[in-house]
Amino acid sequence: MRGAAMAAEFALCAPTRLETAAVRRGLPAGTTSATLLRTGMGRRHAERAAHLLAHTGRPPSGVLVTGVAGALDPGLAPGDVVVATEVRAGERVVACPSAPLLAARLARIGLTVRTGPVVSRDHLVSGAARTPLRDSGALAVDLESGWLAAGLPASTATACVRVVADPATGALWRPVTLAHLRTAARTLTTVAPALADWGAATGARTVLLPHPRSFCAGVERAIDIVERVLVQRGAPVYVRKQIVHNSHVVARLEGLGAVFVEELAEVPAGATVVFSAHGVSPAVRDEAAARGLGVVDATCPLVAKVHSEARRFADRGDTVLFIGHDGHEETQGTVGERPGSTVLVEDLAGAARVRVPDPGRVSYLVQTTLGVEEVAEIVGVLHDRFPALQGPASDDICYATTNRQHALRSVARQADLVLVVGSRNSSNANRLVELARRLGTPAHLVDDPGGIDLAWLPDAATVAVTAGASTPASLVDATVDALRGLGPVDVREHVATTEDIEFTLPKEVRNP
């Protein structure tokens, strides 16, 4: 339920007097919901602390174990911070799904932060004895975190933040050890406000998942095209602009051998180039032909339809008013079809002042990723000014854009917060943020869970999570998992409509 109360108290656990004092110094004044517990060093004390937290009074909404640790990775230096993705103790492993949120919060204040496993032993480990632990993939070793976390109820939000006090190599005790401890203690004081932010965000939540969300048919087709070209022709395969507007998709394809370029001048003569889903102008096609490039066109069929309409309207003598955003690849491609007859209209102000040679010969087209309401308002102004205005035979706004906006509209007012997963240059993801805010719900665009600010969450008992059409579903899953790391989550799927649209692949990449 929107506005439901969040759990109020959490526990910060540190082993020694030195570590506890360092954390206390850094806690913001007025931090009343945190219990700062000095557990004592080692397995026995950690397990006793877990029992105390689990069975004395009301269990805390979350438990965060902090303090110093020994580095296992040679790249870690004293004062560096390790945020555990999981803590290990013997055969027991406790996941810490909220690690991306904590790591991002700490990185924003300028600390060197790594995420990965932290392993706990029941004795001090130094020298060559650390090698097998490092080989297991763990970043740091301590004496308490895993033992304490393993003794907590499964419903307890658990996190671990350790500051490196001694490097991975060298003797444990040496002349610089005290200096390293002082460095680590200062860092513990610095991280304390972030630990308090994490604790304030813990508690049970409801997560609303509007459907549909994430990839549309055009995006799936474009990605499939690049993958097939890589298999059939081998790397490198050049792609003009981002194939779709998502940094994670682009990074994955780069790992497979795709090379993303801004302009065709960066592509070697005779090489293969893929045009992105957003389409290109005839001038770009002519340049590719002149340079002998092997072109594979991944333009979304719905964008190609808009291009066709632009040619048709202009060739019959109309001035084409293209409603879109300046600088967007789709705008550049569509306007480039008939640049002498096409005028860009970006907003209501532009619609109110645009001039045309013949008010009786005017048509309009729309960028496929715009907001439905935004476009309706602009078209209304244009109709008032140009009564003879003609539009496309069907709505230019992509079915996926419309469906995702409709699905979000069905849940946004039930939520305290809307998280839209998508990259900053994704037009349709940005329109989802704008829609939620127009409906009165705070909303933020995040590229992945690391983009979530813990400060957004203390009063957000109900969170809606959706994604733009170029965002992989796995990033939505990761976002929900990160929220689950802050406490129990009741996930509710809200199906507004279903999608079964598929687009055929270009003949160049179809299987023989």
pLDDT interval class at 77 (50, 70, 90):
very high
- Consult the annotation and say whether 136 binds a ligand: no
| pLDDT reported for residue 351 | 94
pLDDT in tens, 160-218: 999 999 988 876 666 677 889 999 999 999 999 999 999 999 999 999 999 999 999 99
> E strand or H helix at 86, and its extent?
strand 81-89
Active site positions, annotated: 330
d(CA 386, CA 191): 60
Q: In the prediction, which pLDDT does 468 show?
A: 95
Task: Answer whether residue 105 shows pLDDT above 90.
Answer: yes
Residue whose entry in the numeric block shows the structure tokens 């444990």: 172
278 marked as part of a ligand binding site? yes
What is the mean pLDDT of the segment spanning 426-438? 95
Q: Which residue has the tokens 């932060």?
A: 113
Tens-place pLDDT, residues 212-258: 999 999 999 999 999 999 999 999 999 999 999 999 999 999 999 99
- Which pLDDT belongs to residue 9? 85
Is 33 assigned to a binding site? no
Give residue 289's identity as a one-letter amino acid code.
A
**61 appears as a binding residue in the annotation:** no
Is 428 assigned a ligand-binding role in the annotation?
Answer: yes
Q: Is the pLDDT of residue 1 over 60?
A: no
If you average pLDDT over residues 308-335, what whole number do you get?
95
Q: pLDDT by residue (tens digit) across 457-477?
A: 999 999 999 999 999 999 999
Q: Which residue has the higher pLDDT, 176 or 20?
A: 20
DSSP 279: -
pLDDT of amino acid 8: 45
Radius of gyration for the alpha carbons in the chain, expressed in angstroms and rounded: 28
Amino acid at 317: G
Q: List domains and CATH numbers for the chain.
A: 10-202 (3.40.50.1580), 206-213+399-495 (3.40.1010.20), 302-385 (3.40.1010.20)
Condensed to tens digits (0 to 9), the pLDDT of residues 379-406 reads: 999 999 999 999 987 666 788 999 999 9
Helix axes 247-256, 217-233, angle to 10 degrees: 20
What is the sign of the dihedral through the CA atoms of 19, 22, 26 and 32?
positive
Residues 431-453, mean pLDDT to the nearest whole number:
97
Identify the residue whose tokens are 């203690």.
185
Of 106-115, 342-351, 386-395, 462-471, the poorest mean pLDDT is in 386-395
Name every residue whose Cβ is closer than 8 Å to that of residue 216 and which is 6 or more positions away in sequence. Answer: 398, 399, 400, 469, 499, 501
427 is in an annotated binding site: yes
37-64 mean pLDDT:
93
For residue range 127-138, what is the model confidence (pLDDT) as tens digits? 888 899 999 999
Residue that wins the pLDDT comparison between 207 and 2: 207
Instruction: Give the model's confidence band at 48: pLDDT under 50 very low, under 70 low, under 90 confident, else very high.
Output: very high
Q: Is 300 annotated as a binding residue?
A: yes
pLDDT at 395: 67
The confidence band for 126, taking pLDDT boundaries of 50, 70 and 90, is confident
66: Cβ contacts below 8 Å, ≥ 6 apart: 12, 13, 14, 19, 23, 160, 161, 162, 163, 188, 191, 195
Choice among 125-129, 140-144, 277-281, 305-309 with the minimum mean pLDDT: 125-129
What pLDDT is attached to residue 6? 41
User: What's the pLDDT score for residue 125?
Assistant: 87
Place of tokens 């110093």: 68
pTM of the model: 0.91
What is the residue-averaged pLDDT of the chain?
A: 93
What pLDDT does 3 receive? 46
pLDDT of residue 7: 42
Residue-wise over 224-242: b if at least 16 C-beta within 10 A, else e? ebbbbbbeebeeebbbbbb
Which pLDDT belongs to residue 172? 66
